[in-house]
Amino acid sequence: MLRELESRNSAGRSPRRWALTRCEAVMRDVCESFEAELHRFNGEGDHVHPLVHYPPKVALSKLANSLKGVSSRYLRAEYTGRINRIGTGSVFWSPSYFAGSCGGAPLSIVKDYIENQKHPA
């Protein structure tokens, strides 16, 4: 199943380019541990857009929880000074996420949408 997940930063702040680059790498590793594939990744404003293909045996809620939890732990550990200055408090991601199935749209359209999100400065 191919889905686009959207996760918002709890502070509503723009993820920095360095954070997006590292977040993508961490989320790619998490996907591999679920036998899933991160097709595309981008961020805009206060959220990220990972396009993930995952097997039917994987519960979407567990995948989303791991993507958010693992990325939060790694980003906080590796960028303590920068993350704390962003002002996210004790929570990096909001507790919610959006997942949309992309089965009806051509994959090229979904990939273009994700790639054309505005990058933070």
* DSSP structure string for 16-42: PHHHHHHHHHHHHHHHHHTT-EEEEEE
For residue 62, pLDDT beyond 80: yes
pLDDT of residue 1: 47
Can you give the pTM of this predicted structure?
0.73
Tokens of 106: 């051509």
Q: Which two tokens stand for residue 27?
A: 């989320």
Is the pLDDT at 16 greater than 70? The verdict is no
Of residues 43 and 35, which shows the higher confidence score?
Answer: 35
